[in-house]
């Protein structure tokens, strides 16, 4: 079943600082680990993802790291900017109550505020 | 290519009524998932349809149902509406195969139950 923890629920940083959001999961039902960003009033959009055959992936100022042994993956944002202010959701692998596999449930989200 | 579309964008219903929401996925996408988004509960997974079959289901009561048509368009129905059903309903499409799992979201339908 589902057991997803995303921390912290809110995060406030100064512009230029780094931000780290962590997602812990229990079911190893998939090898896909994405992060989505939802700006205020907009739809969620994928910003970065990683497959379980690698431990880290970077895309400019954002990165995702994966620790399969500890069952958590983290989103790292460096040199934060005001436009990074949004809610970030992880989407861990899970086993549906019926036993089906998927990447369909989301963490509860982290509201990131970047102060100029 | 065109993105995911949802209709209607806004809806006001009375408690006890039923409602049907529609989602048109990106061309070529066979998976459509539905989510309920509320300020306190984040993105709650309702169900996923793939090739006209419900493939995954969340923990919502039977009042919430859905279906998918042969062109991959999907509808979601909520019967006997309750005040707590007021939310933003998002659908997301993906190709649905194991190698392409990225989801693309529609703009959502804002449902208000009075």
- Each residue's pLDDT tens digit, B7-31: 999 999 999 999 999 999 999 999 9
Write down the pLDDT at residue B70: 96
- Residue A80's alpha-carbon distances to A23, A48, A84, in angstroms, are 20, 16, 6
- Collapsing DSSP to helix, strand or coil, A110 comes out as strand
Q: What is the DSSP letter of B16?
A: T
Provide the percentage of residues in chain B whose pLDDT is more than 90. Answer: 83
Write down the pLDDT at residue B99: 65
The residues near A58 (Cβ < 8 Å, ≥ 6 apart) are none
Residue-wise burial string across B49-87, b where 16 or more C-beta atoms lie within 10 A, e elsewhere: bbeeeebbbbebeeebbbebeeebbbbbebeebeeebbb
Write down the pLDDT at residue A51: 85
Write down the pLDDT at residue A80: 98
Nearest chain B residue (CA) to A44: B105
**pLDDT, averaged across chain B:** 94
Q: Would you say residue B49 has pLDDT above 90?
A: yes
Write down the pLDDT at residue A60: 96
Residues of chain A with pLDDT under 50: 1
Q: Which chain B positions have a beta carbon within 8 Å of A97's beta carbon?
A: 57, 59
The band of B5, judged by pLDDT with boundaries at 50, 70 and 90, is very high
Nearest chain B residue (CA) to A38: B105
Which pair of tokens denotes residue B67?
């279906």
Which pair of tokens denotes residue A42?
């907009």
* A47 vs A14: CA distance, rounded Å: 21
Write down the pLDDT at residue A95: 61
Provide the percentage of residues in chain B whose pLDDT is more than 70. Answer: 96
The band of B64, judged by pLDDT with boundaries at 50, 70 and 90, is very high
Does the beta-carbon distance from B42 to A97 stay under 8 Å?
no
* B27 vs B31: CA distance, rounded Å: 11
Nearest chain A residue (CA) to B47: A104
**Could you please report the per-residue DSSP string of B40-109?**
TTEEEEEEEEETTEEEEE-S--TTEEEEE-TTS-EEEEE-S--GGG-EEEEEEEE--STT----EE---E
Residues 56-85 of A with CB under 8 A from B: none
* B46 vs A5: CA distance, rounded Å: 19
Most confident of A41-45, A94-98, B36-40, B56-60: A41-45
Q: Which chain B positions have a beta carbon within 8 Å of A44's beta carbon?
A: 43, 90, 92, 103, 105
CA distance A103 to chain B (A): 8
Does the beta-carbon distance from B45 to A106 stay under 8 Å?
yes
Q: Would you say residue B37 has pLDDT above 90?
A: yes
The strands making up A56-59's β-sheet, listed across from edge to edge, are A5-7, A19-24, A72-77, A62-67, A56-59
Does the beta-carbon distance from A107 to B33 stay under 8 Å?
no
CB of B52 closer than 8 Å to CB of B68: yes
């Amino acid at each position: 079943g589902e057991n997803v923890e995303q921390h912290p629920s809110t995060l406030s940083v100064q512009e230029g600082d780094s931000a780290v959001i962590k997602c812990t999961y229990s079911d190893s039902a998939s090898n896909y680990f994405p992060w989505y960003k939802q700006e205020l009033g907009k739809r969620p959009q994928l910003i970065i993802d990683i497959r379980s055959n690698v431990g880290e992936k970077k895309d400019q100022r954002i990165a995702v790291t994966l620790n399969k042994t500890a069952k958590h993956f983290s989103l790292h944002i460096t040199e934060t900017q005001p436009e990074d202010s949004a809610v970030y959701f992880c989407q861990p692998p899970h086993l549906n109550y019926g036993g089906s596999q998927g990447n369909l449930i989301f963490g509860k989200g982290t509201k990131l505020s970047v102060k100029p | 290519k065109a993105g995911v579309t949802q209709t209607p964008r806004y809806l006001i219903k009375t408690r006890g009524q039923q409602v049907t929401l529609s989602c048109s996925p990106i061309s070529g996408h066979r998976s459509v998932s539905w989510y309920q988004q509320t300020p306190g509960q984040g993105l709650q997974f309702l169900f996923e349809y793939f090739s006209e079959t419900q493939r995954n289901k969340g923990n919502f009561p039977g009042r919430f149902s859905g279906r998918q048509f042969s062109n991959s368009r999907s509808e979601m129905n909520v019967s006997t509406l309750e005040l707590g059903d007021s939310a933003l309903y998002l659908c997301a499409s993906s190709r649905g195969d194991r190698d392409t799992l990225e989801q693309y979201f529609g703009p959502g339908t804002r449902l208000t139950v009075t």
